[in-house]
Homo-oligomer: A and B are copies of this chain.
Amino acid sequence: MNQQITPTYRPLYQQIKEALLARVVAGEWPPGTFIPSESALAEQYGVSVGTLRKALDALANDKVVIRYQGKGTVVATHDSDRSLFQFFRLIGLDGSRCLPISRVLTRERRAATHEEAGMLELQKGEDVVHIRRIRELDDHPALLEDLVVSATRFAGLEREPAPLPNTLYHLYQQRFGHSVAHAEERIFAVAADAEHQAHLGVEIGSPLLEIRRIAKDLQDTPLEYRISRCETQHHCYFNEL
């Protein structure tokens, strides 16, 4: 492993990090499996264990892998924990974390709209799978969600087993081999319409939180575009700066 992959200087441990990341992305070590030990990898790349440690620490920092003292290093999965703490930011007014229960309303395959194609970086005319569901928090309907994914990337999602799991990212990873690594959210305040009245039991025109999320994989490929509308009488969006 030489120091000059490109003419510009890059630290060795960063090159190792990228090499390891490439192997994760390539599927050599599927999510949930243990990767080789530090000493074994250090020997493979011909670097010191300290250098390899720094690469693994950086990957752990990015939540690509998780390290367990005495056991080894595993590729990160979408356990309920991760989906809940990293990607679900709604909490009760008292600060309690409540786990959502999903109920699917519609599920269909159709052509992507112009906006969806742009968000998901799809070719002209590609299909998407569109899922609409409501999510209950504390036995009370709180969210109306519309989400779309590429129908080619997630082939057959519209025919998946009836009760979709309420942690969809786990399904993406298990069934389709696509892991959501991070996401961007843009939040707006909007007025409720008749649909929200019907499903969430709020007045037409009452204020709702609208959360537009683009979920991406390790290579920044957009996997899912999701719009959630949330009633904030009983819950709120929480963020730490």
The chain A residues found within 8 Å of chain B, CB to CB, are 86-87, 89, 91, 182-191, 205-209, 230, 232, 236-241
Contact = CB atoms under 8 A, between A and B. Distances in A.
- Nearest first, the 9 A-B pairs at minimum CB distance are A207-B207, A189-B207, A187-B237, A188-B232, A189-B209, A183-B241, A189-B189, A186-B236, A185-B239
Nearest to A189: B207
- Please tell me how many copies of the chain the complex holds: 2
Nearest to A50: B50
Given A184-B238, A191-B206, 11 more contacts: A86-B241, A89-B239, A186-B236, A186-B239, A187-B187, A187-B209, A187-B239, A188-B209, A189-B230, A190-B232, A207-B207
A239 B208 CA distance: 18
Nearest to A215: B241
A87 B239 CA distance: 11
A240 B207 contact: no
A217 to B, nearest CB: 13
Contacts of A185: 238-241
B209 A191 contact: no
A87 B241 CA distance: 7
Nearest to A180: B241
A182 B241 contact: yes
A186 B209 CA distance: 12
Contact of A205 (B87, B205, B208, B236): B205
A226 to B, nearest CB: 12
